[in-house]
Each structure stands twice: as structure tokens, then as C-alpha cells.
């Protein structure tokens, strides 16, 4: 029993010693901080100019890279000239239609040999499905054209 009491007393002394050391370290750090306070201007001193420049560069380049990656989503096209038109940087026709083939010849949709318009009608249980209102739009255009000719 005597050995246990000594062991517990030694453990309590160790804990107390640790607490005293922690209190001494904390009070020393606090005294040092109060004696030499850090000001915001210290970050922009000559010894930190390199770190501030690198940090600023990383932020600017990062924001620029993310903006460049999102630009096609914002403008709605991958064509750089069309992007400039959509953003209002240059004057021009706002259209994403391809007007020229890869070799520079103009594209005539449906008018030249080899180009086909495919029938895209859809039916479900024998009933016609008008995807995106194409047939309704065509009928409206025909009625408007007929009304305009009268």
C-alpha cells in the first residue's frame, strides 16, 4: 500500500510540474508578444516583399486561369472570335453557325450533294412526339408567312 501511495504522489508531482512548465512557457510567450507587437505593416516590410509578391502572383494567375477556363461557358462558344462578339468586345454577327468548311469553302446546308437532313420524328405508342416544339414552331411560321402575304 505504501508503494502505491508513493507512485500516485510521484504521478501527481509530474502533472503539477508539467502544468507549471506550461504556465511559464505561456506567460513568457505572452510577455514577448506584448513587448514586440506585430503590426499589419510588418507583412509588407522589405524582408517579406518576396513572399508578398509570390502570393499576389499566385492569386492573380489563379483567378485568371479559372476565368479563362470558364470563358467558354460564359460566352456559350469555343470560337474565340465569337467569344469577342458575344462579350461585346468587337462588332459582328452574333451566330454560332458554321459558315465555312475546314478548307474555307462556304457551307450550303441541304443544297449540295452529300448533305442530308435526317428525319428526326419520334413516336410513342403510335402517337407523334414533338420534341422542343419543332412542328408547332413550323406551323406558326407558316401561318405568319401566309398572313403576311395577304
Higher pLDDT, 66 or 74: 66
pLDDT digits (tens, 9 = 90+) for 31-63: 888 887 777 777 777 888 888 889 999 999 999
Mean pLDDT of 61-89: 86
Please check the confidence at residue 4 and state whether its pLDDT lies above 60: no
Percent of the chain with pLDDT over 70: 74
Percent of the chain with pLDDT over 90: 16
Q: What's 109's DSSP letter?
A: T
Q: Domain residues of the chain, as ranges?
A: 1-36
Entry pTM: 0.35
pLDDT digits (tens, 9 = 90+) for 5-35: 555 565 668 788 889 999 999 998 888 888 8
In the chain, count of helices (H) and strands (E)?
4, 2
Amino acid at each position: 500500500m505504501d508503494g502505491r501511495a508513493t507512485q500516485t504522489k510521484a504521478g501527481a508531482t509530474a502533472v503539477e510540474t508539467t502544468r507549471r512548465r506550461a504556465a511559464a512557457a505561456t506567460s513568457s510567450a505572452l510577455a514577448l508578444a506584448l513587448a514586440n507587437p506585430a503590426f499589419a505593416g510588418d507583412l509588407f516590410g522589405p524582408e517579406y516583399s518576396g513572399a508578398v509578391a509570390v502570393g499576389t502572383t499566385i492569386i492573380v494567375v489563379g483567378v485568371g486561369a479559372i476565368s479563362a477556363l470558364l470563358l467558354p461557358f460564359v460566352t456559350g462558344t469555343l470560337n474565340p472570335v465569337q467569344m469577342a462578339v458575344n462579350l461585346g468586345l468587337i462588332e459582328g454577327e452574333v451566330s454560332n453557325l458554321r459558315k465555312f468548311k475546314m478548307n474555307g469553302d462556304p457551307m450550303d446546308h441541304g443544297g449540295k450533294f452529300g448533305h442530308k437532313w435526317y428525319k428526326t420524328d419520334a413516336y410513342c405508342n403510335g402517337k407523334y412526339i414533338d420534341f422542343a416544339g419543332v412542328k408547332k414552331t413550323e406551323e406558326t411560321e407558316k401561318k405568319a408567312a401566309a398572313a403576311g402575304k395577304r
